A and B are shown apart, each in its own frame.
Chain A
Amino acid sequence: MFNTARNIFHLIFILSAFISVHLNTFAQEKETIKVGSKKFTENVILGEILTQFLIADSIKAVHIRELGGTTILWNALLKGEIDIYPDYTGTILKEILAKENLISSQLENYLNDKGIGITKPLGFSNTYAIGVKNETAEKLALFSISDLSNHPELKFGFTNEFLDRKDGWPGLRNTYKLFNNYVTGLDHDLAYKGLESGSIDVIDLYSTDAEIKYYNLKVLKDDKNYFTDYKAVFLYRKAIVKKFPVILKILSQLEDSIPESLMIKMNSEIKINRLSESIVAANFIKDKFSLTTKFKESTLLSRLVKNTLDHLFLVSVSLVMAILLAIPLGIISYKVKRIGNVVLSITGIIQTIPSLALLVFMIPLLGIGSWPAIAALFLYSLLPVVRNTFSGLQNIPESIKESAIVLGLPGIVILRKIELPIASPSILSGIKISAVINVGTATLGALIGAGGYGQPILTGIRLDSIPLILEGAIPAAMLALLVQGLFDLIEKLFVPRGLKL
């Protein structure tokens, strides 16, 4: 496989074409307003409303949906990776800027210094609340959060973000002297299912959630006024409204335009009636401002094509970069044992970092989108290739190594003509392992805006839609099989025949 430099050039050519296409779309985005949204329905609707409104006013805008949690969006805004996104005053004060200990009147000035603008409230407030099933409430006579302190047997299931937030569980527990016996973290959209099935008893709610009514839940009274106000607002980069002042005009039209009942209704149209965010947003704009907006409803095919391209981009670029580094590292590890120990330990440690954590670590360095995901996948791909290159070379029988040395060939020729070809089956199987793992791990990239097959899975979980989940899961599984088959073929073509006898 190593004398076929031509094939490698081919591969590099295809990849660079691939990358340049992606950079092109990136360059276009420079002229485009990038609206971000968090990965829950209401936030996606708000992002979609703004995006369609901007487009209706002939501004180029794009909606980067479902970009994970608060930290990711806030950092992306600071870095200019996105220009505007919807957030909530309580979240900004108590979570993002918790260390600053600000009160709401200081917020605008503080953000101003960071180059961030904040709109007036959009109308509704989406406060945290604590909920239980109505029958549980009746059976145990639960009316307020204080009542929970008499029931250590209750199982709490909270959104992961809520569990860690300073304005979330830690403070709630202290304020109400609650028990910590049964507390688990889970996805917000799955929490309702858990409550319904009885595997958990108490969950955190967003007060505008459509499910509260749908599942007939009891919202417990916050009798100690623990939760602050979470008024919906837009955060935007000052630089972008300076460049496009019309954005401010549009934002001001949205201020005070969405009462709580309307927001709950819109949430419910999506989560209960299964409309798309685009349609709900378009209807809102039409009703409120008598403005017809254009939006593209994606078809299954167009989504599949885009997700496939995004996914292939993530996997192939990270894998090729990993191969280019890992094979030399494996060779060095074999030649110099002391370096080898260090290299193998470090790549081994990288492998133990949870993939979600590694993805999030990449954001401060590389922002959101494909590149941080590629960097994380690249790091994950190293170990199997390094280790298999190392062990493939290491396991060559001593008699063959000595026969090669005693011929009087220089070390580099021995490596190229004898050692690497004999180790090639091992190296290839390392690459195959990396590639297959990579295809699976890349689905997490959707959490930081990298797209790919993770996107429909993420949306599917949020909307509780099995077809959407399958829209990501089936192609991902098929791609993994395809990659496996491809490498079996490569093995057939490239592994020297003498090694297969």
Chain B
Amino acid sequence: MSIRLEKISYSYNSENAIDNISLIIDEGKTTVLIGQSGCGKSTLIRLIAGFLNAQSGNVYFDNNVLQQINLLELRKRIGYVIQGGGLFPHLTGFQNVTLLAKYTGWDNKKISDRITELTALTKLPAEKLNSFPAELSGGQRQRVSIIRALMLDPEYLLLDEPLGALDPMIRFELQQDLKVIFQKLNKTVLLVTHDLNEAAFFADKIVLMKDGCVVQEGSLKNFVDYPATVFVTKFIQSQRSVLNV
């Protein structure tokens, strides 16, 4: 259940382009895409989610190549969380997370069992699901969004700057909880961030991008000890820890 990119290229302007990337996102592991803004990391995750079509190359989910005809089916096997949550403002939290399950034909018992399971997992007080997104805090919204993404128990989880817009303390708490969730569920996770601390915290493998190319992939230790280019070192140094100030 890995995701495999094979010689993917995409460009709509000079920025955010993708230049011939091949990459494996390992099954059951957390892979983190990192880079400066404009490096193409968001473009890449959107190519994987099928919002954009690569001009050349293929994306494989397991052994299925992503294409227009199997898009709907594949997407049901993908959970997707974006910055701010992307919740539907006219629906309550409950309606947000159950929309797809109801459409798929789940009965009420199955739905409520799954909700109980997921609220516990994401540490969201169950009654919060009765609120509309506008009535929730940023952290709660993101937890609802994660429940929505996990509802049908997808094999793959794509997260695009999921903690981007949160206050530092809420962010810290949610990072802890999210890491536990990833470990418990054992899903194939791809997370995009610009924060090296966050990347190091989550990642089984970090993928550093620059100008639409992968500069280096591996562990943080690997980046520090064997930087592929001067850019890698600079990128690490630029994200100094407060304790070293």
Contact = CB atoms under 8 A, between A and B. Distances in A.
Interface string A63-82: 00000000000000000000
A354 interface: no
A422 interface: yes
A179 to B, nearest CB: 64
A482 interface: no
A406 B75 contact: yes
Interface in B162-220: none
A407 interface: yes
B51 A400 contact: no
A404 B86 CA distance: 9
A92 interface: no
Interface stretch (A10-18, A271-279, A284-292, A408-416): A408-416
Contact of A408 (B72, B86, B132, B135): B72
Given A408-B72, A501-B134, A501-B135, A399 B83 contact: yes
Interface string A379-412: 0000000000000000000011011111111100
B35 interface: no
B91 A498 contact: yes
A458 B92 CA distance: 53
Given A408-B75, A408-B76, A403 B134 contact: no
A379 to B, nearest CB: 32
B76 A422 contact: no
B89 A409 contact: no
Contacts of A403: 80, 82, 86-88, 145
Contacts of B12: none
Nearest to B152: A408
Given A498-B133, A501-B134, A501-B135, A406 B78 contact: yes
* Chain A: interface size category: 20 to 34
Interface string A423-439: 00000000000000000
Interface string B66-87: 0000001111101010111011
Nearest to A496: B90
Contact of A409 (B49, B86, B103, B148): B103
A68 to B, nearest CB: 48
B236 interface: no
A497 B89 CA distance: 9
B71 to A, nearest CB: 8
A400 B148 CA distance: 13
Contacts of B51: 402, 405-406
Given A399-B84, A406-B80, A498 B99 contact: no
B100 interface: yes
A410 to B, nearest CB: 7
B90 A409 contact: no
B49 A498 contact: no
A349 interface: no
A496 B134 CA distance: 12
A435 B86 CA distance: 34
A402 B90 contact: no
B99 to A, nearest CB: 7
A399 B132 contact: no
Given A498-B132, A501-B135, A407 B99 contact: yes
B89 A422 contact: yes
A499 B90 contact: yes
Contacts of A402: 46, 49, 51, 80, 82, 86
Contact of B73 (A408, A413, A496, A501): A408
Interface string A470-501: 00000000000000000000000000111101
Contacts of B50: 406
A407 B100 contact: yes
Contact of A400 (B88, B132, B135): B88
Interface string B87-118: 11111100000011001000000000000000
B93 to A, nearest CB: 10
B99 A409 contact: yes
B84 A410 contact: no
Contacts of B134: 498, 501
B88 A410 contact: no
Given A399-B83, A399-B84, A421 B90 contact: yes
Contacts of B87: 400, 403
A173 interface: no
Contacts of A408: 72-76, 78, 100
Nearest to A399: B86
B89 A498 contact: yes
Nearest to A495: B90
A499 B87 CA distance: 12
Contacts of A193: none
Contacts of A405: 51, 75
| Top 3 A-B residue pairs of the complex, sorted by shortest distance between their CB atoms | A403-B86, A408-B75, A498-B132
Given A403-B80, A408-B73, 6 more contacts: A402-B46, A402-B49, A402-B80, A407-B80, A496-B90, A498-B90
Interface of A: 399-400, 402-410, 413, 417-418, 421-422, 496-499, 501
